[in-house]
Structures are given as C-alpha cells and as structure tokens.
Amino acid sequence: MNEDMPWVNLTQEEVDELRTKKHELTEYGKQRLKQMMSHEEMLEEAERREKLNAGFKQDENGNWYRPTLQELTKNERITLAEKEIAYIVMGGQDGREYANSIAFILQVLDSLRDKESDFEDSADRVA
C-alpha cells in the first residue's frame, strides 16, 4: 500500500508508474497544443480556461457572465464550494476573504438543502 494515498489500493510502484504516465501525457499534450496553436490562440485559450475555472459561463453570444447559484447544477455548486475550501486550507487569505469564502460555502450548502424536508422537519418539531 502506498503512503501518499492510503485509501487507494495500489502499491507505491503502481502509483509512481501512474505519476510518470501522467507527466508524459501532460508533456505530450503541451507539445501538441504548441504545434496546433499560435501564441495569440494560446493566450485566448488560457483566458477561457481561467474564466471557466473561476466559475464563469458563456451565453449564446459568447459573452462571459457569472451565473447565480440557482443557474448552476448541483455538481457545479459543489465543485465551487470545494475550491473555496481548498483556498481556505491553503491559507493566505485575509479576514475579509476568509469570511467571504465561509459565506459562499454556506450559501452553496443552503442552495443544496431539500426545502421540502426542511418544511416537514419544522412541522414535526412543532407538532
């Protein structure tokens, strides 16, 4: 069993082999992109990926916008909350950024809450 990820049932050699293959594929992909794209196209693609990673979406006219939580799928909301948790864990946030991250995570959790069951739970407590 490997020490880096004990929950994965792989030997350390298998993990090392997977890491090597990942690195080789990443390098191959970078080389292919360089061959296929001009410098300007690469900058545009990098900007597009940054915006997607930051949670932006494009409308039918190609304009970028930040969707509300209600416009996002359940999995998209969870992914954004996971990123916020990663930012908190990495540290380096000031007090305001930290509070904003916590507030966002709470908003995501609230948006995922089953409103029907909340109503039923409240009714059970009253009865």
Q: Are 57 and 63 in contact (CB under 8 A)?
A: no
* Global pTM value: 0.47
For 9-39, the pLDDT digits (tens) are: 778 888 888 889 998 999 888 888 777 777 7
pLDDT band with cut points at 50, 70 and 90 for residue 61: very high
Residue 70 has pLDDT above 90, yes or no: no
Residue ranges of the domains in the chain? 68-127
Beta pairing partners, 65: 57
Residue 64's φ and ψ, nearest 5 degrees, are -85, 140
pLDDT tens-digit map of 73-111 = 899 889 889 988 998 898 888 899 899 999 999 999 999
Region of 59 please: left (phi>0), alpha (psi -120 to 50) or beta.
beta
Write out the two tokens for 93: 């946030």
In our burial notation (b when 16+ CB lie closer than 10 A, e otherwise), range 37-67 reads eeeeeeeeeeeeeeeeeeeeeeeeeeeeeee
